[in-house]
């Protein structure tokens, strides 16, 4: 297994920080490798069982949280607010759609971010997440520092403690949504120096693999899903449930290649395909992918990320998203699956329970002029609590009744 891991990490790799002092980075990796895991194999196995039910069409996967977790925001109040929004969305979905909801937080590890450009508008290295550098626009703050991985691990452990406390003993919400009293966390497996530090052998599945102690559910992003790259090879070795983001350039043949690589034994719910097409493309691109994968016999989870394909810059210079575009992509996602007879099994969103104004629209009528007042995100814009609940109501209606033109309207 060690040889397989070394071979995976030796493959071409994208979106990695360039540590100024490689020896120091190696020392940090060695230190992290001796730390206690954040999640347990038993918890991860329970999630895998629940995700198998989603893949069979018996439940719904709701995943959400901050775009990028920031050290300064790693407070119990912030984390509980985010978990509360996720729980409230799950309640809406279950009440109106009648399906058990599996809740997975984007939390306790979402500290790194891929970037499309190496430099920002000031000519400085871009912010790649608190695990790598700082958001402050100074050369020193933007210098990649491997010691930040130590802070990320410590903060992730604190966040996981909050998740466990929030879910301990079950709640009325969990009873309603079919929850098992456990709290599950997820993040993008991006910085491989960090991801490789908490692996332990797992021989319980169809072949020997590693289980990650950094999160229950890990996903591979749109910018790092090269079939011949290190991220896909790394994900192949994990027994954790795996997600894969698929953008509008994904072909049906590529999608099937990913499925064969990441779900070689046909385990229901092992792989979640997270479409992030954009509201103008989802209806055109997604059907052929769904048909190709479904025809192969693999039982994947089909999940919609309606956020990342709908980002644009407002006239006053803020990166934002319009709730109506988010809803339209979700609607298109359901239309495709209803037409093909497949299960639209999940929603993946960036949200916060804090009082922010980062996305447009919703019942409160947020406009571009409102953005400067409460724009707090470290990276991409998030739905606030009210917008999240509005979206959950739309999804619940679609899940309960199917899609007809104009059936669900959003103010």
The structural domains of the chain, with segments of one domain joined by +, span: 2-401
Spatial separation of the C-alpha atoms in residues 411 and 409, rounded to whole Å: 7
* pLDDT per residue as tens digits for the range 288-307: 999 999 999 999 999 999 99
pLDDT at 403: 40
Q: What is the pLDDT of residue 170?
A: 56
Q: What is the pLDDT of residues 50-72, one digit of tens each?
A: 999 999 999 999 999 999 999 99
As a whole number, mean pLDDT of residues 329-336 equals: 98
The model's confidence at residue 401, banded by pLDDT at 50, 70 and 90, is confident
- Tell me the torsion sign for CA atoms 6, 8, 14, 15: negative
Task: Say how far apart CA 176 and CA 79 lie, in whole Å.
Answer: 22
- pTM to 2 decimal places: 0.96
Q: Would you state the pLDDT for residue 294?
A: 98
Tens-place pLDDT, residues 232-265 = 999 999 999 999 999 999 999 999 999 999 999 9
- What local confidence, expressed as pLDDT, does residue 40 receive? 97
User: Over the stretch 6-17, which tens digit does the pLDDT of each residue have?
Assistant: 999 999 999 999
The mean pLDDT of the chain is 94
Residue 407 in this model has a pLDDT that exceeds 50: no
pLDDT value of residue 411: 36
Q: Measuring CA to CA, which residue among 117, 116, 145, 143 is closest to residue 131?
A: 145
Higher pLDDT, 38 or 74: 38
Q: In the predicted model, what is the mean pLDDT of residues 17-37?
A: 97
Q: Report CA dihedral (297, 101, 383, 169) to the nearest 10 degrees.
A: -140
Q: What is the pLDDT of residues 154-211, one digit of tens each?
A: 999 999 999 999 998 555 455 445 556 679 999 999 999 999 999 999 999 999 999 9
Give the fold, CATH level 3, of 2-401: TIM Barrel (3.20.20)
Tell me the per-residue pLDDT of 67-99, one tens digit each, with 9 for 90 and over.
999 999 889 999 999 999 999 999 999 999 999
Average pLDDT rounded to a whole number, residues 390-398? 97
CA dihedral sign of residues 224, 263, 326, 72: negative
The conformational region for residue 271 under phi > 0 = left, psi -120 to 50 = alpha, else beta, is: beta
Instruction: State the Cα–Cα distance between residues 254 and 249, nearest whole angstrom.
Output: 10
Q: Which of 170-179, 308-317, 334-343 has the lowest mean pLDDT?
A: 170-179
Distance of CA 402 to the CA centre of its chain: 25
Q: What is the pLDDT of residue 210?
A: 98
Pairing verdict, β 301-304 and 271-275: parallel
């Amino acid at each position: 297994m060690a040889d397989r891991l070394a071979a995976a990490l030796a493959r071409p790799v994208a979106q990695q920080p360039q540590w100024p002092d490689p020896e120091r980075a190696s020392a940090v990796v060695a230190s992290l490798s001796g730390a206690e895991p954040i999640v347990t194999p038993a918890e991860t196995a329970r999630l895998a069982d629940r995700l198998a039910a989603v893949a069979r069409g018996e439940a719904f996967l709701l995943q959400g949280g901050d775009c990028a977790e920031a050290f300064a925001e790693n407070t119990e109040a912030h984390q509980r607010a985010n978990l509360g929004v996720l729980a409230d969305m799950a309640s809406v979905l279950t009440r109106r759609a009648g399906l058990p909801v599996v809740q997975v937080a984007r939390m306790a590890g979402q500290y790194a971010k891929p970037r499309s450009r190496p430099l920002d508008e000031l000519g400085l290295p871009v912010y790649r997440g608190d695990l790598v550098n700082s958001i402050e626009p100074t050369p020193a703050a933007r210098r990649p520092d491997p010691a930040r991985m130590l802070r990320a691990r410590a903060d992730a452990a604190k966040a996981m403690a909050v998740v466990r406390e929030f879910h301990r003993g079950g709640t009325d919400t969990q009873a309603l949504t079919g929850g098992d009293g456990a709290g599950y966390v997820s993040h993008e497996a991006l910085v491989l120096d960090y991801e490789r530090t908490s692996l332990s052998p797992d021989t319980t599945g169809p072949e020997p693999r590693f289980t990650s102690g950094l999160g229950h559910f890990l996903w591979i992003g749109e910018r790092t899903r090269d079939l011949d790259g290190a991220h896909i090879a790394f994900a192949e070795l994990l027994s954790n449930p795996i997600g894969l983001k698929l953008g509008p350039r994904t072909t049906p043949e590529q999608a099937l290649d990913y499925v064969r690589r990441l779900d070689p034994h046909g385990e229901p719910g092992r792989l979640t395909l997270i479409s992030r097409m954009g509201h103008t493309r989802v209806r055109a691109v997604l059907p052929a992918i769904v048909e190709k994968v479904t025809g192969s016999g693999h039982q994947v989870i089909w999940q919609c990320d309606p956020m990342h394909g709908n980002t644009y810059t407002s006239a006053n210079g803020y990166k934002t998203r319009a709730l109506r575009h988010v809803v339209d992509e979700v609607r298109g996602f359901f239309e495709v699956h209803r037409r093909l007879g497949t299960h639209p099994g999940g929603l993946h969103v960036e949200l916060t329970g804090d009082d922010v104004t980062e996305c447009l629209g919703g019942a409160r009528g947020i406009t571009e002029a409102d953005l400067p007042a409460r724009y707090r995100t470290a990276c991409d814009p998030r739905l606030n609590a009210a917008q999240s609940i509005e979206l959950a109501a739309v999804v619940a209606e679609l899940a309960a009744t199917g899609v007809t033109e104009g059936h669900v309207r959003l103010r």
